[in-house]
Amino acid sequence: MRVLVAMSGGVDSAVAAARLVRAGHDVVGATLKLWGGESDSGCCSVADVDDARRVADRLGVDHHTFAYSDEFDRHVVGPYVDAHRAGVTPNPCVECNRHLKFGALLERADRLGFDTVATGHHARIVAGPDGVRRVARGADVAKDQSYVLAGLTSERLDRVRFPIGDSPKDDVRREAAALGLRVAAKADSQDVCFITRADGRARFLARRLPLTAGVVVDGGGRPVGRVPAVETVTIGQRRGLGLAGGAEPRYVVATDPATATVTVGTEADLRVARQPLADLGWAAGPVDGPLDWQVSAHGAVRRGAWDGGAVAWERPERRVAPGQVVVAYSGDVVVGWGTAAPVQDVRTDQAIEPHPLGA
């Protein structure tokens, strides 16, 4: 089988490629050059491309670099900026996977005559009794990446492989070391690749849209603080709100970029019985009854059931920032996904449109 392996320059994709070579497949490595600006947080830097190329040389396979900077800007960076402009919290890694790694790369693999594309994601692909292929959690729960792969259709999953999904990360590192791969001890990439640690999110956004200083108000509309940029404030945020100390902890419960207003409340105000979702999709038809719902890439799992317009939590939970992907699991298997919509707040009547997954 001819396999095109997406090699990010990290240990996971290196071992994924090594396993496919060992299994006797015709393997070619490909690194996606996505971001043309500065990067110091992994998967887009010049050093990562060099690491991927050296691993390919060590494994004796060809390596190519594919430039997708225009597509990355259009599908990931642009929507990221637009989401913040609208007061929405985006998921750039989800969009990158959907449009680039399992969109543009799959299309190129087809044109080049490859049978499948493989990546180093910590996730598995399972087929149900109905034959529909679904994403499932990887063996290493702490490194699981099934959340950021939500929305991949069964048709795409038919053409994808995750060779390390059944392995704990420690085993992957040991295997890389035994193979003499230079990336065996390389640190994992954790941050958004196009935002440098030196600049941070606010400076990145400030170069692309005007940031607006905002007023922080309590539930009665009384001013209690200031924020330097309302576009960077997130639901549930507690710090950086200019609030006086000594009071009961207060959290962001609503933002309104149109009026440059941030509303805060108590932890109890943050909790809701139902979380509306936009554009809910199912892997193979709606699932009735309680499911586990993950609300961020590294967030806790909550229990609730879809009631046709929102997730009804088994007990009140903190509201999810609009724009965040919410993923439904049955056991370890992804069965649905959607985008958090605003919880209507009687104090603001705010209604921010989320940036939808699948748009």
CATH number for the domain harbouring residue 320: 2.40.30
Range of the domain at 298: 269-340
Q: Compute the half-sphere exposure of residue 54: CA atoms within 13 Å on the CB side of its CA.
A: 15
Residue 79 lies inside a defined structural domain of this protein: yes
Residue 355 lies inside a defined structural domain of this protein: no
- Judging by DSSP bridges, how do beta strands 123-127 and 133-137 pair with one another? antiparallel
Residue 152 lies inside a defined structural domain of this protein: yes
The pTM assigned to this predicted structure is 0.90
Residue 194 lies inside a defined structural domain of this protein: no
| 334 and 240 together in one domain | no
Q: What is the pLDDT of residues 133-174, one digit of tens each?
A: 999 999 999 999 999 999 899 999 999 999 999 999 999 999
What distance in Å separates the CA atoms of residue 357 and residue 359, rounded to the nearest whole number?
6
| 280 and 238 together in one domain | no
Q: Report the candidate in 348, 357, 340, 323 with the shortest Cα–Cα distance to residue 85.
A: 323
| 134 and 232 together in one domain | no
| 54 and 144 together in one domain | yes
pLDDT reported for residue 258: 93
| 258 and 170 together in one domain | no
pLDDT reported for residue 155: 93
SS (H, E, C) the chain: CEEEEECCCCHHHHHHHHHHHHCCCEEEEEEEECCCCCCCCCCCCHHHHHHHHHHHHHHCCEEEEEECHHHHHHHHHHHHHHHHHCCCCCCHHHHHHHHHHHHHHHHHHHHCCCCEEECCCCEEEEECCCCCEEEEECCCHHHCCCHHHCCCCHHHHCCEECCCCCCCHHHHHHHHHHCCCCCCCCCCCCCCCCCCCCCHHHHHHHCCCCCCCEEEECCCCCEEEEECCHHHCCCCCCCCCCCCCCCCCCEEEEEECCCCEEEEECHHHHEEEEEEEEEEEECCCCCCCCEEEECCCCCCEEEEEECCCEEEEEEEEECCCCCCEEEEEECCEEEEEEEECCCCCCCCCCCCCCCCCCC
| 273 and 261 together in one domain | no
Which strand ranges, in their side-by-side order, compose the sheet holding 26-33?
62-67, 26-33, 2-6, 116-118, 160-161
pLDDT reported for residue 188: 86
- Measured CA to CA in angstroms, residue 218 lies from 26, 246, 263, 343 at distances of 62, 16, 6, 17
Residue 184 lies inside a defined structural domain of this protein: no
Question: What is the chain's length?
Answer: 359
pLDDT reported for residue 316: 96
pLDDT reported for residue 143: 95
- Among 136, 156, 178, the domain-final residue is 178
Q: Report the candidate in 227, 249, 257, 224 with the shortest Cα–Cα distance to residue 240.
A: 227
| 104 and 232 together in one domain | no
CATH number for the domain harbouring residue 62: 3.40.50.620
Mean pLDDT by 10 residues, the chain (359 residues): 96 98 98 78 74 97 96 96 94 94 96 97 94 95 95 94 98 98 89 81 94 95 95 94 84 94 95 94 93 90 94 96 96 96 57 39
| 223 and 305 together in one domain | no
Residue 162 lies inside a defined structural domain of this protein: yes
Residue 195 lies inside a defined structural domain of this protein: no
| 68 and 145 together in one domain | yes
| 253 and 276 together in one domain | no
| 246 and 328 together in one domain | no
Q: Which residues are the active-site residues?
A: 96, 193
Number of domains composing the chain: 3
Residue 187 lies inside a defined structural domain of this protein: no
| 250 and 296 together in one domain | no
